[in-house]
Chain A
């Protein structure tokens, strides 16, 4: 199985900050990398797919980059509604696997 490792596991940031979350895979798989946002008590929501493609309706302050084994989710200017847990996920092979999550908290 492909192991996905996110860093950091949690971070504290202020509204307006630029936030970067990284995701490293245990093996290369081109750009079959997705990012999800999950708020407490809610289902995950697809934010970005194929590493950098914004899902319809997702604000442009979210962006994704990377390829191979190293990927990044960036929030250019953190908004109050962005405080949540973010997961990366590889969709390259079975089983699809998720990172352990990064919790973004209010500083």
Chain B
């Protein structure tokens, strides 16, 4: 059974940093691309970032480019999102989602999400 378990969310002040993790199991992690998708409270879905299977190709939404860094450790079956210079508008539930290497943005499996709140 595919499982994705996010962690690392919490309350952080504007300008602060946070690192999210997504622990994967039930599939060959290194064979799948991974994405982060977020959802502000009561709002719709927004794609955040993409990373390929071996971690050497990444893409970011313009809203987070230069502040967020996606990475993965295939030996630990874990995906990360390092978030710096956080803003109030980054407040959201952050989901990790898998996709096939031939369909990067078809989000097949999702984690349960972790809430990030940016507030003073």
Residues of A whose CB lies within 8 Å of any CB of B are 34, 36, 38, 42-46, 49, 55, 87, 89, 91, 94-101
Secondary structure dominating the interface of B: loop
**CB distance A89 to B112 under 8 Å?**
no
Shortest Cβ distance from A43 into B: residue: B110
Bound-state CA distance A69–B45 (Å) is 20
Q: How many contacts between A and B, using CB within 8 angstroms?
A: 50
How many interface residues does B have (CB within 8 Å)? 20
Q: List 6 extra interface pairs beyond A44-B110, A91-B104, A95-B59, CB under 8 A.
A: A34-B106, A36-B107, A45-B110, A46-B107, A96-B47, A98-B45
**CB distance B61 to A46 under 8 Å?**
no
**CB distance B44 to A87 under 8 Å?**
yes
